[in-house]
Amino acid sequence: MYIKILKAKLHGLTVTDTNLNYEGSLTLPEEVIKEAGINEYEAVYVVNLSNGKRFETYVIKGKKGEVILNGGTARLGIKGDKILVFSFIYIEPEKAKDFKPKILFFNEENEVTKIK
C-alpha cells in the first residue's frame, strides 16, 4: 500500500505571462524545477492565490524568472497572479514518517529566497 504525500512546494511564484495558443502546461525556470526535484512533464497541482482557482497540469522547462500559464491554464490566471505549485509522490506509509518535502519560497522576480 502507498500513500500520496507532498514531495515539493513552490510558494509565492508570480505569473509572468499567459499563452492560450500553446498546447498546454506550466512553464517554470529550469533551475527551479531542478532545485525542487520536479521532472519536466511531471504532473503538478497549482493553486492561484489571486483568484482561488485550482488546477492540475504538467511542467515544462523555461528561462530564468519565467512562470507561464499555457494552453487552457492561461484562462485560470493573469500576469502578476501569485501561485503555489505542489508536487506529490506515492510512498509506503513507513517511509513517509521520515520523509520531508522540499519547500521553496520566492520573491517578485521568481528567485528562490528560502528553502525549507
The rounded average pLDDT for each run of 10 residues, N- to C-terminus, in the chain (116 residues) is 98 98 92 98 98 98 97 97 98 96 98 97
50 labelled catalytic: no
Question: Is position 41 annotated as part of the catalytic site?
Answer: no
Indicate which residue of 41, 58, 87, 90 is catalytic.
58
The 10s digit of each residue's pLDDT in 20-36 is 999 879 999 999 999 99
> What's the Cα-to-Cα distance from 49 to each of 29, 34, 35, rounded to whole Å?
20, 24, 23
The full 3-state SS of 33-64, as one line of letters, equals HHHHCCCCCCEEEEEECCCCCEEEEEEEEECC
Quote the pLDDT of residue 24: 79
2, 22, 25, 41: which is the annotated catalytic residue? 25
